[in-house]
Structures are given as structure tokens and as C-alpha cells.
Amino acid sequence: MKSIVLCSLTIFLLLLIMKNQVNCGKILVVALAPLYSHQLPLRTLAQILANRGHEVVLVSALTAKNSSLINYREIDFSVAYEIREMKEVSELYSNYATLTKYEVVKYVSYLGTILTNYFYTHPEIKKIYTSGSKEKFDLVIVEGVINCAAFAIAHMLNVPFIGLISMDLHMYHNYLLGAPVLPSHISNWELSDYVDTDMSFWKRLQAYVVASLAVFQWYNYETGEQEKYIRNLIGNDLPPLYDIAKNMSLLLVNHNPLFGDARPLPPNVIQFNSFHIAENLPPLPTELDEFFGNASNGFIYMSLGDTMKSSIVLSKVVKEIYNAFSRLPYKVLWKYDADDIPKGNGNILISKWTPQESVLAHPNIKLFIYQGGMQSTEEAIYYGVPTIGVPIMFEQIYRIRKLVSLGVCKMVDISKINEEMFYEAVLDVINNKSYKEKMTELSRLVKDVPYDSKENVVWWVEYVMRHKGAQHLRFSGADDPWYQRYDMDIIVFLSIALFIVTTISVIAFVQITRWLYKHLLLSLCAPKCFPLLQGKNKIM
């Protein structure tokens, strides 16, 4: 009997192993941007896929970490952080507030070009895509924010690819996938300075022009300068970059309409959120645990993220913020990267690194002051912590404005911060219970979903591998020229036709009116108006 049970168990295990061998594949995950918030979703996804049995190779700008997974390895691309410190690139961050939309695109494109060069000339990457390589992949997952050049590796490996972005869709993503660009709608975060809920014709015209120029600039860069550059780098045997990009199987987008704005999307755009939220939080360091434990009135946490150094952003107002914090009856944990803040104030703890999720999950926290980054927003909402938003760049101001409209956040203009204003803003959010109540309700809404976000994303990734792509989900309108997508040629034709018909009708009306006046009206009025003339005619 035991031998039968053992035999059955062995057969079951063999079948299970065979099943995993059939379903599991080899996946290349590419995360190039030297920004922690951009790296985090891709790293999380890579590790989840590895845990499910897939063989995963992660190209990461973060320092490669040891992993106990035997089917998971990382290629160190930390050179990206050195690129970020280059003068031409660092100017983008230090002078962002003064840059125009076009200068931002220029700087980001410049960064993308340098990253592309380092990516395709990296020794470990060249081993993957060079002809004769023994490494075979089933899928490529690439960060899709900076440019399309990294997508080309999927074509070189002859496998389908999935794009992933750690924020809401850009205008060029909409254009790329055939979705409406919507320049005058509030969901277009890139035009947050131009759009509103009730816009005049001239405001909409301005937004339309800015959006059109921005999309054209991106398209011109990808199909011109960037394409020429990538061909010189890896050879001419490559389709147009734009064609490669628009044929992606899926685009995974880190966005939730609850703290953004809903918009129409094509079927191959899959939204996810709170992807990186840890199931088991790491314990707090002893120093922080004691600091929070002694916070009888609660504590405040301030962090402006990792994209820009707080010491640069707050250089002109750091003393104002410090003085405001010093007056508060609360403990303050301040993530700050420099040593120019006075030491010795008992209620303020300065730290260059914090386990943010564990901090936000602490029951004594009263307020989170942050810059409006996507991952930080997800964490604040998930743990129900009211916020003060100090937006700095990119989509942060759009996101903070949305949270303000939901009643869970108060926005502070970094260029106008002073001690008294900052002090009053902190007390307002903490003392006004509605901020906490509305944030708690928003947290419940975010968690009330029909499926786990991680499981949903993984299902779609495996779906693409099972079917060797998902071209049937593409919107065919992405292949049409811009004027056909919105029937602009028909609108122009009808407008011209209407103008011609209207012009002909007006001319005909004028001519008929003149003829009637000349021949009909005068003949009717002549006997009454000119009796003497008629008499003379009779005598004669």
C-alpha cells in the first residue's frame, strides 16, 4: 500500500515539474532610469516572476543585490547613476522649475541617448543580443518612459515585449498606442499648467498647440535623431523604432484613477497600483522605534524622495522649515541628505535613509510631508496617512492637486514657503479631522478591488508568453497617420465644402436679390411713384 502511495506521489510531483517546465520561461527585464521610483516596480515584478519559477535576468541601475533565487540574476547597470551626475543631465533636476516643456523633453531625450549608448555597449548586454549568443529568451519587459531605443533589443532577440511605466501615461504613449491625446482634458498631467475643468476656447487652443508641439518633438526625435543614433550603434538591420514601439504587446501603467483621472485606454494598456507594497514590513531600526515610541503626541514624517536631493530643493527654505518644526508639539522624522541642519533639537530627528513603508505604517504617525511621487502616494493612501504635498517636478503637481480635490492633502508652493505659513499648514492638516477621515475612506476604496494587483500583472505577463505576443489587443488606429485618427482630413474636406456651398449660396442670394430689386420691385413701384412721367409718355 505504501509503495502505491509513494508511486502516486512521485507521478504527481513529476507531472507538476513538467507543468512548470512548460509554463515557465526566460524573461529579460530592463530598468535603465537612474531613479529609485522607476526601478522599484520593475525590480518587484522581476522577483515575483522568479518566485513563480520563471528564469529572470534583471538589468538594473540599482546596485546588484544578492538573491537566494537560483533562477534569478542581475546585470549591474549602476553606471546610470554616474550618468545622472553629469553636468548636462543634473541641470535638468537643479533647474527644473525654470525649464520650458521643450527644454525638459530635450534634457530627458539627452539622458535617454546616453543610457541607450551604455546599454547596448555594456559587455553583459552584448553577450545577450550578439549573433550566435546561446542565451534565448521568451519575453522582454522594458521600462517605457525615456525613449523607444531600449525596445529594439526585443526585436533583436525575436521575442515579444512588454513596456512598463511607473507613472501615468504620457501624451506620446497615447499617440504611440492610438489612444486619444486629449490636450484639453484634466487627465493630461503633462499640461497641468494649461488645463482645467472649465476652459475657454482660447485656453483650449493654447493647450492644443502645446500638446501638438510636444508630441511632434518626441516623434521627430524617435524617428530622426534617436533612430539614426541606434542604427549607427547596433547596425542598420532594424525596422523603424516607432514601428517596434507601437507593436508592444502590453503597456503596464502604474496608475489608479482614484487618485488620478480616468481616461479612455486601448485594450493593451493594463493599469496596476500599490504594486510594491510589502506583505511583511521589515522592523524599524532601534533608534526609530524608540523615537516613535516616545512620541506621546504622535510624529510627523517628511521626505522629498530620491529623484532630487532635499538639500538642493530646500536650500533657500530649509531654515524656515526647521524653525516651523521646532515649534511643533510633535516629534519629526526628516529624511534629509546633508549636514547643514542644526543638531540638538529634541523633537527633530534627521536621517539620510528611512524604511518609509514601516514608518508610514506606524500607529503614531500624524502627517506625511512629501513631494507627490507615485510610490509615496500609494503608500500614504494604503496606510491612511494624511499629507502635505510639496510638488517639485514632472507629474507631481498634477497628483497633488488631485489629492487636494479629494480632501486628503494640502499643497504648499515650495517657492513661497516661510516659517509661519509652513507651521500653520502642518497644524491645519493635523487638527482638521476631515483630512484623516477622507484619507481613511480613500484607503478603503483602494483596497476594495476584485483581484490582487500583483497577480493580475503576472497573469498578463504569462498570457503574453503563452501566446507569444498579444497583437490582437492592439488598437489598429495606432497605424493610421494623425490626421486619419481624428478624421481631420474629413473635417477639413467638409469644412471646405461647407465654406464653398455657403459662399455660393450667399453670392446666389445677393444676385437674386439684386435681380428682384431691379426687375420686379421697380416695375411694381413705377406706376405709383412716377405718375407725371407716365402722363408725359401718353402725350408723346
pLDDT band at residue 432 using 50, 70 and 90 as cut-offs: very high
Helix (H, G, I), strand (E, B) or coil at 351: strand
* pLDDT (tens digit per residue) in 219-232: 887 777 778 888 88
Rounded Cα distance, 361 and 364, in Å? 9
Residue 90, pLDDT > 60, answer no
- Is 425 strand, coil or helix? helix
Confidence of residue 34 (pLDDT cuts 50, 70, 90): confident
- Hey, how many other C-beta atoms are within 10 angstroms of the C-beta on 375? 22
**pLDDT at res. 150:** 86
Contacting residues for 536 by C-beta, under 8 A, at least 6 apart: none
- Grid coordinates given for 319: 531654515
pLDDT tens per residue, range 347-399? 889 888 889 999 999 999 999 999 998 889 999 999 999 999 999 877 888 89
pLDDT at position 531 is 56
85: how many CB neighbours lie within 10 A of its CB?
9
Helix (H) or strand (E) holding 1: none
Question: Residue 136 is inside which H or E element, if any?
Answer: none
Percent of residues in the chain assigned helix, strand, coil, to nearest 5: 55, 10, 35
pLDDT for residue 2: 54
Residues 6 or more apart whose Cβ sits within 8 Å of residue 205: none
Q: How many CB atoms lie within 10 A of CB 518?
A: 10
**Using alpha carbons only, how large is the chain's radius of gyration in Å?**
31
Cα–Cα nearest to 250, from 459, 54, 34: 459
What mean pLDDT comes out for the span 317-326? 90
> Is residue 468 within 8 Å of residue 160, measured between CB atoms?
yes
DSSP string of 270-283? EEE-STT--SSPPP
Q: What is the pLDDT of residue 353?
A: 87
Q: Which of 201-215, 254-268, 288-302, 460-474 has the highest mean pLDDT?
A: 460-474
Question: Residue 279 phi/psi, 5° resolution?
Answer: -75, -35
| Cα–chain center distance at 257 | 12
Residue type, 529: C
d(CA 486, CA 480): 10
| Residue 396 confidence (pLDDT) | 87
Assess contact for 86 and 107: CB atoms under 8 A: no
Residue 288 parent element (H or E): helix 286-293
CA angle 529, 534, 540 (to 5 degrees): 160
Q: How far is CA 507 from CA 225, 493, 514, 519, in A?
A: 51, 21, 11, 18
C-alpha cell read off for 459: 497573469
| Cα(151)–Cα(524) distance, integer angstroms | 82
Contacts of 383 (CB under 8 A, 6+ apart): 357, 360, 361, 365, 443
Q: What is the mean pLDDT of the segment spanning 128-139?
A: 86
Task: Give CA–CA dist 284/21, Å, rounded.
Answer: 40
pLDDT band at 313 (very low <50, low <70, confident <90, very high): confident
Which helix (H) or strand (E) is 76 found in, with range? strand 72-76
Which of 61-75, 167-181, 290-304, 497-511 shows the highest mean pLDDT? 497-511
Which residues are CB-contacts of 75 (< 8 A; sequence separation ≥ 6)? 57, 58, 59, 60, 64, 122, 124, 125
DSSP state of 343: P
CB 94, CB 81: distance < 8 Å: no
pLDDT of residue 61: 83
pLDDT tier at 478 (50, 70, 90 boundaries)?
confident
The Cα–Cα gap between 188 and 398 comes to 9
Kind plus residue range of the DSSP H or E element containing 303: strand 299-303
For 377, counting Cβ atoms within 10 Å of its Cβ (0-12 exposed, 13-18 middle, 19+ buried), the class is buried
Give me the mean pLDDT over the 417-435 stretch: 94
Question: 173: how many CB neighbours lie within 10 A of its CB?
Answer: 20
pLDDT category of residue 15 using cuts at 50, 70 and 90: very low
pLDDT value for 539: 47
Query: What pLDDT sits at residue 197?
Result: 80
Average per-residue pLDDT for the chain: 83
Per-residue pLDDT, 415:
84
Q: With cut-offs at 50, 70 and 90, classify the pLDDT of residue 172.
A: confident
Q: Which residues pair with 333 in a beta bridge?
A: 301, 349
CA dist 466 and 459 (Å) reads 10
pLDDT of residue 99: 55
Q: What pLDDT is attached to residue 379?
A: 94
Amino acid residing at 478:
A
In the predicted model, what is the mean pLDDT of residues 407-413?
Answer: 94
Is residue 191 within 8 A of residue 278, CB to CB? The reply is: no
**Where in 376-467 does DSSP place strands (E)?**
387-389, 409-411
This prediction has a pTM of: 0.84
Q: Which residues pair with 73 in a beta bridge?
A: 57
Query: What's the chain's length in residues?
Result: 540
Give me the percent of the chain exceeding a pLDDT of 90: 33
End-to-end CA distance of the chain: 143
Decide which of 91 and 114 is more confident. 114
pLDDT at 80 over 90: no
CA distance 106 to 127: 31
The mean pLDDT value for 415-422 works out to 90
Could you tell me the CA-to-CA distances from 193 to 96, 255, 390 in Å, in that order? 14, 20, 16
Three-state DSSP class for residue 538: helix
pLDDT at 6: 52
Residue 4: the pLDDT is 56
Question: What is the structure's pLDDT at 86?
Answer: 60
